[in-house]
Amino acid sequence: MIARLRPPVARLRQVIDRYWSSHRPLVIAVGAIALVIVLAASLLIAVRPGGAAQANASPSPTALALVSASQSPAEVPTPPASPSGTPGNSPTATPGPDWVYSDLDGVLAPSDLAHRLPMAVMIDDSKAARPQSGFSSASIVYQAPADGGEDRYMMVFQEGTATDIGPVRSARPYFVYWAAEYKAMFGHFGGDAVSLDQVIPANAKNIYNMDDLRGGSCPYHRIATRASPHNAYTNSAVLIRCLSKLRYPTTYRGLPVRTFRDDSPHSQLPATQSISIPYRTGLIGYTFDPATDSYLRYVGGHPQTDPANGQQVTARNVIVMFQALSYDSISDPGHKRPVVANVGSGKAIVFVEGQAIKATWKKTSKTALTRLYDSSGKQIQLVRGEIFIQSVPTGTAVTYK
């Protein structure tokens, strides 16, 4: 298969790094096998008259046995070829035969990762929880208002692999409905009464529930460097093991998907763009970087760094959805629970490649995929890569220039 790609150099490196972190042992093993084959072939060539290479030279039986005992060469995914030229060019990559575009963010990856069961994990955003881990490996990240004037994240993972994810916190109904869009595993530490007693049970066919407080702590652990409740963590590897342990699927095909496109030529990108999105726990900022065709993320005026890899968090697409926010003080006595109206439609702004597109978001049912449309009613194409979805109350003053 020959796929046409237009990722910038930095983005392609991120894709290869994700694959390397997930398959490092396999790649090393296959490399060792290949070395044995080459050495064996060289020995055969050396013993032929004159040392001349023969077209039909064959590896030794030992080398063939090593290949048979491991994965056959045809089963080993081949990483994309390194692009040439400047960022924004459209090099032709020739990945392995099983490389396809990932369902959630349109990134090219081996099919087992591109169709891996999405894993949605609730993440704390109180100041005591920062910096959080896992942002850089997620395909989609949601941020929305939560209790007590704070907000909360939900990271959704597919082809990316995170060595640390957390702190993990509790569920809220609107996050459950977002997770249901992807038929995802839904990881959380308990939740409000409506989530636990109504919404999650009603969506048993739309999510794969993995609650530490109801069903055990298979994928979760506590760290000693932070105080509870800001110290619950997990990682991609243990989440995947727990999927199998709970007899949940590890892959899922046929997900509804958004539309993606390749990068624009670098010469067409603007020099800069800045975005400011206010939340009560701090200002969220993005600065467009044309060199990588991505947005650098800031929290409270400071670069946001992911402790899982020590790098600044970036986004390829930033989506601001304006959604009605109300509070429920009846269903969970003693608490004033936020209610985000994420079903129906409303205004949105889609930031991509340094451009701001005024849009409309539409979610036709609680489990339907949220889609984005431009002023002409056409579905907006995102660029391939990580998506940050910022849900803010209707009327929030989002600024950009």
The CATH number of the domain where 126 resides is what? 3.50.90.10
Residue with tokens 């060595």: 163
| Coil, helix or strand at residue 320 | strand
Place of tokens 């993005």: 286
| pLDDT for position 43 | 35
Confidence (pTM): 0.79
pLDDT at 148: 87
Asked if residue 171 and residue 250 are part of one domain, the reply reads: yes
Residues 81 and 195 in one domain: no
The C-alpha atoms of residue 59 and residue 141 are separated, in whole angstroms, by 49
> What DSSP designation does 331 have?
S
CB atoms within 10 A of CB 346: 17
- Within a 13 Å sphere around the CA of 400, how many CA atoms are in the beta-carbon half? 25
pLDDT at 17: 52
> What are the mean pLDDT values of the chain's consecutive 10-residue runs (401 residues total)?
42 52 47 45 36 33 30 32 31 70 97 97 96 98 94 98 97 98 97 96 96 89 95 97 95 93 98 97 97 98 97 98 96 92 98 98 98 98 98 98 96
8 Å CB contact between 154 and 176: no
**Is 331 found in the same domain as 300?**
yes
CA distance readout (Å), 336 to 24, 130, 192, 383? 47, 24, 10, 38
If asked whether residues 273 and 343 sit together in one domain, one would say yes
145-155 burial: b if 16+ Cβ within 10 Å, else e: bbeeebbbbbb
- Distance separating alpha carbons of residues 339 and 109, to the nearest angstrom: 36
Q: What is the pLDDT of residue 157?
A: 98
* 151 and 88 within one domain: no
Structural domains counted in the chain: 2
Helix pair angle (61-69, 9-46), 10° resolution: 150
Indicate the length of the chain as a whole number.
401
- What's the pLDDT at 18? 54
Residue 388's closest CA among 284, 263, 244, 289?
284
- Cα separation of 339 and 128, whole Å? 24
Domain boundary among 70, 92, 114: 92
Q: Give the DSSP H or E segment for 218.
A: none
Same domain, 18 and 128: no
State the Rg of the chain over Cα: 23
Task: Give dist(CA 352, CA 166) in Å, integer.
Answer: 27
Last residue of a domain, one of 65, 92, 119: 92
Distance of CA 299 to the CA centre of its chain: 19
- Other C-beta atoms closer than 10 Å to the C-beta of 129 total 21
pLDDT recorded at residue 253? 87
Q: Is residue 107 located within the same domain as residue 247?
A: yes
Whether residues 247 and 317 share a domain: the answer is yes
Q: Are residues 123 and 76 in the same domain?
A: no
92, 111, 137 — which closes off a domain? 92
Strands 311-312 and 282-289: unpaired
Domain that holds residue 164: 98-401
- Within this chain, do residues 303 and 184 fall inside the same structural domain, yes or no? yes
- d(C-alpha 300, C-alpha 282), whole Å: 5
- 296 and 273 belong to one structural domain: yes
Q: How far is CA 290 from the centre of its chain?
A: 21
Is the domain of 116 the same as that of 261? yes
Q: What is the pLDDT of residue 71?
A: 32
14 closest CA partner among 136, 140, 170:
136
